[in-house]
Every structure is written in structure tokens, then in C-alpha cells.
Chains A and B, each alone.
Chain A
Amino acid sequence: NAGVTQTPKFQVLKTGQSMTLQCAQDMNHEYMSWYRQDPGMGLRLIHYSVGAGITDQGEVPNGYNVSRSTTEDFPLRLLSAAPSQTSVYFCATRGVLEQYFGPGTRLTVT
């Protein structure tokens, strides 16, 4: 039982490049979400999903796309990376009350 896994752990992109951050869970949770963590700002919600085929925007969705074709996977896409997207990204799932976080992806955009 791996819980929530994220790949890659680290990534460096040039401005304008695209990439997908992967997130997978084996807890059969319907609710999944993506956060970014920046110094002094806590965690801010980017996108979330309440089940396969359903996604919605969080607090800071601009520049990011998501899809949820299966219960297990919730990838986050950066279509054209910008330096402002340099951050640590966390994927999370939620059971009834408890939210479980992945180990994070540290992204640097130069």
C-alpha cells in the first residue's frame, strides 16, 4: 500500500516548456487535489477532483490543467511553464475526514 505517490521528485524546466506532474493513489479515495507551497504562503489549492471525470478550480488555477480519467490518477499539466510556477507541488487524497499528502515535486522554472 503505497498511499500517494508523485513523480518526478525534482524537475527543472525552461520558460515555455510543458510538462506533466504525475500523482497516483491506491487508497480508492474519490477526492484528490493539487497544492503548491511557496515560502510564507502556506499551501494553496490549484485544482481538485471529487471523482473520475469531475474536476474543478481551486484558489490558483491559472497556468495549470488537470484531468481525472481514473480514480487512481490525477495528473497536473503545465502547458507553458513560467518562473512564477517555481514551487513545491503536493498531490493529496482525502478519505472521510483525513487528507493524505504525497512527498512532493520540487519544480524550478528558469
Chain B
Amino acid sequence: GEDVEQSLFLSVREGDSSVINCTYTDSSSTYLYWYKQEPGAGLQLLTYIFSNMDMKQDQRLTVLLNKKDKHLSLRIADTQTGDSAIYFCAEMGTGTASKLTFGTGTRLQVTL
């Protein structure tokens, strides 16, 4: 079945760039997502990328996709304390009943 893996923890200093990595196994994944979860809250969609793209940029966020290696990354430029959260990678195939499969989440800690 599908499997999505992430490292559990990342610590960066305020103002630096953060890079959160994700690997997935399902070669039929069509859409890949990044979600953010702040403490005590639900999941907020940050961005997504189609599998036929290799990069997507949205303000401070850059998503890179290496389809050959099934590797997805999220880069946050100029990381701020408000970026401290858990970041989830997720993948989904095509079809009405396609399910979203999540990684375990990476906890980003931003230090001063």
C-alpha cells in the first residue's frame, strides 16, 4: 500500500530557511500536498503540486518534487516563529474515491 515518510523533528533559527522532506512510495500519486497544523488546531492546507510539475512557488513557500526518486520537499524562506507547527506531507491518486495518505508529520521548531 501507500507509504509516506517524514523526519519527525526540525529545528531552525529565525530568519533561516527551513527544508522539510518527504518520501512516498506510490508511483501513481497524482497530487502531493503540504499541510500545517498549529497546536490544538486542525490541518490547514498550505500548498499542493501536481505530479507533472517539479516546482511550485507561493510567496515564502517553495515545493520541489523529484518524481523519479519520489521525493517532495517544502522550503520556507525567512522562517518566523509563527511557522512553528507540525507539517504534514500527503499524497493522493486520481479518482473520486482516492484517499489522501499522510506522512507522520515533521515538527518545526523555530528558535530566536
| A and B form one complex | yes
CB atoms of B41 and A98 under 8 A apart: no
Q: Verify if A69 is at the interface (C-beta below 8 Å from B).
A: no
Residue among B31, B33, B42, B45 with the highest chain A CB neighbour number at 10 A: B42
Partner among B8, B45, B48, B96 whose Cβ is within 8 Å of the Cβ of A50: B96
Partner among A40, A45, A90 whose Cβ is within 8 Å of the Cβ of B99: A45
Interface string of B69-106 (1 = CB under 8 A from A): 00000000000000000001000000011011111110
Q: Which residue of B lies closest to A99 (CB)?
A: B100
Residues of B within 8 A of A104 (CB): 41-42
Partner among A42, A48, A56 whose Cβ is within 8 Å of the Cβ of B102: A42
Interface majority SS on A: helix, strand, loop or mixed?
strand
CA distance A104 to B86 in the complex (A): 15
CB atoms of B48 and A42 under 8 A apart: no
Contact A98/B104 with A31-B96, A42-B88, A50-B96 known, Cβ cut-off 8 Å: no
Interface string of A9-30 (1 = CB under 8 A from B): 0000000000000000000001
CB atoms of B31 and A97 under 8 A apart: yes
CA distance A40 to B5 in the complex (A): 11
Partner among B8, B96, B97, B102 whose Cβ is within 8 Å of the Cβ of A43: B102
CB atoms of A42 and B99 under 8 A apart: no
Tally of A-B Cβ pairs under 8 angstroms: 46
CB atoms of B45 and A99 under 8 A apart: yes
CA distance A43 to B35 in the complex (A): 11
CB atoms of B43 and A101 under 8 A apart: yes
Contact A103/B97 with A42-B88, A97-B31, A98-B48 known, Cβ cut-off 8 Å: no
Q: Which residue of B lies closest to A49 (CB)?
A: B97
Residue among B33, B43, B101, B102 with the highest chain A CB neighbour number at 10 A: B43
Residues of B within 8 A of A30 (CB): 96
Q: Verify if A75 is at the interface (C-beta below 8 Å from B).
A: no
Q: Which residues of B contact A (CB under 8 A)?
A: 4, 8, 31, 33, 41-45, 48, 88, 96-97, 99-105
